[in-house]
Every structure is written in structure tokens, then in C-alpha cells.
Amino acid sequence: MKRSIFLFFKKSLSIAFLLLFVFGEIALGEKEEYDVRKAFEQGNVLYQKEDYAAAIKAYEEILSRGVQGASLYYNLGNAYFKVGQIGKAVLNYERALKFAPEDKELMNNLTFVHEFLQDKVEAAERPHWQRRLMRLHHFLSLNLVVGMASLCYILTLLFSAYAVIRPSFRPIFFRRLLVPLASLFVLLSGFGVLKVLESHFSPAIVITEEIDVRYGPSPQETKAFVLHAGTKCSVRDVSGEWILIWLPNDRGGWVHQSGLERI
């Protein structure tokens, strides 16, 4: 009897601790959410009072907690623009776009800020067919590309098996189906490889007023050209504290990591 009471007490105590832990976690989560909301509202109040430096500090404090969002990055971008830090403004607008890619007000602000950039980097001129392929590439997601390529591969295997079973189907398969399916598979595979490479070539923004682009990963290397705050580039390689960047006009070089920040 005593053993039964002890086991019951032990089991009840375990359940009590479990409930305390669960509800404690919920309460903690609600408190954190309240603190973040309060800090965000405080940042907005400071922005309305034109205390932009304090507003930036409040928004950055929220980010340091691991909280992200379109409104947070958007307001932070506005605050940085007000204090004249164009690079940080562009960086945070671009980060906001990842959460709200269709936000017109956000895109309008980004377009407006681009008017203040010193570097007017135009994309290199490409043939018409290449531009159309790139538009198609950007339209298709990686998952869709993989799915369509897999479908082409499976259809090719099925048609090949059917051609083995039905010899009369072979002329149709080889003359009308094999080349289109193989061509589409190669094209989609190329899109897939390009998308994977793009995921590694993450975009970045120049955040310092001016940064030297050099021919090699060293301050002793010859300077190729200069970039200014707000210019967008893609990261191609990293060597110690140096980053190989590339621009839409097919120019590139090595810059020190302190001069830019990834989106």
C-alpha cells in the first residue's frame, strides 16, 4: 500500500513538473513576444520623434534576439536612410523584400534610394534568346525545375521500355519523342545547376562609403576599381578576410569583408 501511494505521488509529481514546464514555456514565449512588440513600438515612437539613431538601436536590438520580418527590416531601412547610411538602408530594404517580395511601397522606397547611389551598374548586354532563357530561369523555382526534369526522365524510361516491347513504336519514339525529351531534360538540368550555384553565390550590399576592389585577396594587390555604398553584388568566393564579388556588368574582384554585408 505504501509503495502504491509512493508511486502515485511520484507519478503525480512528474506530471506536475511536466505541466509546469509546458505552461512555463508558453508563458515565457508570450512574455518574449510582448517584449519584442513593445520594443518595436518603442522604435516606431523614436522614429516619429526623429530620434533615428535611437530607433536604429531599438530595431537592431530586436534583430539580435533572432526576430526577423518585413516591417522590422523596412523600418530599419527607413531609419538608416534618415541618418544618411545609404548602404545599410539598401541592405535592410533588400532583406525586407525576402519576406514581402510583392510589397509596392517597399519596392518604391528601394527604387527611390537607388537614385542616391553613386555606382550606376548596368547589366551587360546579352543576346535576345539568352535574355528570354534567363527570364524563364528566374520564373521557375528549384523544386519545379527538379520536378519537371524528373518527369522528363521518367517519361523517357517509360517510352524506351514501351519501344522495346512494341517494335512498331520505335520509329515514333526515336523520331518524335527522344530528342525533345532529352533536350528539355538537358535544359532543365542546366537551370537546376544554375539555381544551385546561385544559392551559393549569395547577394551582398556594400555598406561602407567606399571600398577598393582588387585583383587578388590582399591589400598589396593592384586596385581594379572602387565601389560605393549601396551597390549590390554577388559573392563568388571567400579567402580569409577577403571576398570575391561579381557585378551584373560582368566586372568583379576581391574586397575586404568589412566593406559589405550579405543580404
199 pLDDT band, cuts 50/70/90, is low
Query: Where among 90, 114, 138 does a domain terminate?
Result: 114
The C-alpha angle 46, 87, 216, rounded to 5 degrees, equals: 150
- Residues 6+ positions from 61 with CB-CB distance below 8 Å: 39
Q: What tens digit of pLDDT does each residue of 126-149 get?
A: 676 666 776 776 677 778 888 898
Name the domain count of the chain: 3
Q: Greater confidence, 193 or 40?
A: 40
The pLDDT of residue 102: 81
> Within this chain, do residues 76 and 101 fall inside the same structural domain, yes or no?
yes
Mean pLDDT across the stretch 9-16? Answer: 42
Is 121 part of any domain?
A: no
Is 160 part of any domain?
A: yes
Mean pLDDT across the stretch 175-183? Answer: 88
Tell me how far apart the alpha carbons of residues 56 and 82 are, in angstroms, rounded to a whole number. Answer: 10
The pLDDT of residue 87: 95
55 pLDDT band, cuts 50/70/90, is very high
The pLDDT of residue 137: 64
Is 63 part of any domain?
A: yes
Cell numbers that stand for 118 in this block: 553613386
Q: Is the dihedral of CA 185, 187, 192, 197 positive or negative?
A: positive
CATH of the domain at 24: 1.25.40.10
Residue 24: count other Cβ atoms within 10 Å of its Cβ: 10
Query: Where among 170, 200, 230 does a domain terminate?
Result: 200
Is 236 part of any domain?
A: yes
Q: How many CA atoms lie within 13 A of 42 on its CB side?
A: 15
Residue 4 has pLDDT above 60, yes or no: no
Residue 35 has pLDDT above 90, yes or no: no
Is 97 part of any domain?
A: yes
What value does the mean pLDDT of the chain take?
83
Q: What is the DSSP string of the chain?
A: -HHHHHHHHHHHHHHHHHHHHHHHHHHHHHHHHHHHHHHHHHHHHHHHTT-HHHHHHHHHHHHHTT---HHHHHHHHHHHHHTT-HHHHHHHHHHHHHH-TT-HHHHHHHHHHHTT-S---PPPP--HHHHHHHHHHHHS-HHHHHHHHHHHHHHHHHHHHHHHH-GGGHHHIIIIIHHHHHHHHHHHHHHHHHHHHHHHS-EEEE-SSEEEEESSSSTTSPEEEEEETT-EEEEEEEETTEEEEE-TTS-EEEEEGGGEEE-
Is 122 part of any domain?
A: no
Distances in Å between the alpha carbon of 177 and those of 113, 139, 153, 170? 51, 26, 12, 10
Is 249 part of any domain?
A: yes
> Within this chain, do residues 196 and 225 fall inside the same structural domain, yes or no?
no
> Within this chain, do residues 27 and 14 fall inside the same structural domain, yes or no?
yes
Residue 164: count other Cβ atoms within 10 Å of its Cβ: 11
> Within this chain, do residues 18 and 69 fall inside the same structural domain, yes or no?
yes
> Within this chain, do residues 9 and 72 fall inside the same structural domain, yes or no?
yes
Mean pLDDT across the stretch 233-250? Answer: 90
Per the structure, the complete domain to which residue 256 belongs is given by: 203-262
